[in-house]
Amino acid sequence: MATSSDHPLHPTGSTGPSPLNGLLYGHIYSAAVRAVAVHRIADRLADGPRTVEELAQDSGLHADSLRRVLRLLAMHGLFSQDEKGAFGLTEAGRPLRSDVPGSQHAAALFITDEMLRRASYGITDVLRTGETPFEVAYGRPFFEHLAATPDARDLFDAGMASLSGRVVELVADSYAFPDGGTVVDVGGGRGGFLHAVLSREPGLNGVLFDRPDTVSDHLLDTAELTGRWSVVGGDFFSEVPAGGDLYLLKNILHDWDDEDCLRILGAIRGAAAPGTRLLVVDAVLPDNGDPHPAVELDMIMLMVLKGRERTAAEFESLLTRSGFRPNRVLPTPSLPSIIEAEAV
C-alpha cells in the first residue's frame, strides 16, 4: 500500500501539497467554499461551534458529506474543528457570514458562479484564438448578458458591492477630497464609493451615474446625505453629466480594452472643463513584472471581458491620449491605487 510520502498525489515526499498541487486542487477548494456559502453554514455558526449533526439537521443537509467539506476548509483555515468533532468559524472564515460588516458572502457566490466557471474552461482556447472565453461560452458580451439576465445582473451587482466592501472606505480615506463642489461618480454602481466620499466631506454634493437598472437600487438615500445627491442613468460611452468639479472612475477602465477606455475617458473630457480633476481608481501593476495580487484579477478580465489590469505607464498613455494630464499615483491600503489626472 502506498504511504502518504510516496502517494502520487503527494509527489513532494510529504503530507503537505506541493505548489503545483495547490493549483491543481484550486477548483475543488472554490467549489467547497461555494457549497458552504450557498447553504449559509457560516451564518449557522455565528453563535459558536456546532456538531455536524446539528448543522445538517438545521440546514437539511447530508451530515457525512458536510463533515468532509468542512474538514477540507478547516485544513485551509476557514473553519476550526475541536477534539469532539464540532466545527467553528475562524476569523478567516468570518467574511463568509452574510450578516457582518465586510461580508464576502455575495462575492463568494459571484466568483464561484457558473458564469465564471464556464469562462475559465476557455483559457486553453484563448491562448490560441485570443477570443474572450465568456463570449464564446454564452454567445454575447458579459455586460449584454447581464442586461438580458436579471438574476445574473443582481448576482454581479451584489458581488461587486461585496468585493468593494471595506475597500471603498480605505480608498476614500486615502485622498484629500475637496470640501465643496460636485463630484460625479461615473459607472458608480449603487453608489457605495460616492456615499463614502460624501460622508467625509459635508460640503460636497454628488452625482451617481451608471446604467438605469443599476442606479435605481442606489445606496445614497440616507439621513446624512439628504439633499446632497442626485442619480442619473445613462451610457458612459456616449455622454456623462457635465459640470462636475471632480470625476471618479472606480474599477471601470480595467473592464475595457484601450479603444473603449478612450471612449469613456473622451466622454468625461467632453463634460469636464479644463482644470477639472479626474480620479481613476484601479489596480496598478508593477512595471517590472513583480508579483501583485491584481495579476489574479487580470485573469478574470482575460476570461470574461476584453479588459485588463494595467501599469502606470499604460494608464498614463490612455489619459494623455484622452486630453488629461496625469499628475500622480497614490497607493492605498487596499488593492487599487488612485491615479490623479487633470483635464487640459
Residues of the chain with pLDDT under 70: 1-17
C-alpha cell at 265: 475617458
Rounded to whole angstroms, the Cα distance separating 201 from 228 reads 11
Which pLDDT tens digit goes with each residue over 152-209? Answer: 999 998 998 888 878 899 999 999 999 999 999 999 988 999 999 999 999 999 999 9
pLDDT of res. 160? 87
| Residue closest to 270 by CA, chosen among 246, 242, 305, 251 | 242
Rounded to whole angstroms, the Cα distance separating 168 from 334 reads 9
Q: Which residues are catalytic?
A: 254
C-alpha cell at 92: 478567516
Q: Angle 63-75/52-59 helices, nearest 10 degrees?
A: 120
Amino acid at 108: A
Q: Give the number of other Cβ atoms within 10 Å of residue 238's Cβ.
A: 11
| Residue closest to 93 by CA, chosen among 107, 80, 106 | 80
Model pTM score: 0.86
CA distances from 136 to 71, 114, 125, 247, 297 (A): 37, 14, 10, 34, 20
Helix and strand numbers (H, E) in the chain are 16, 11
pLDDT of res. 14? 52
Q: How far apart are the first and last CA of the chain?
A: 73
Q: What is the mean pLDDT of the chain?
A: 93
Rounded to whole angstroms, the Cα distance separating 22 from 108 reads 19
pLDDT of res. 16? 60
pLDDT of res. 74? 97
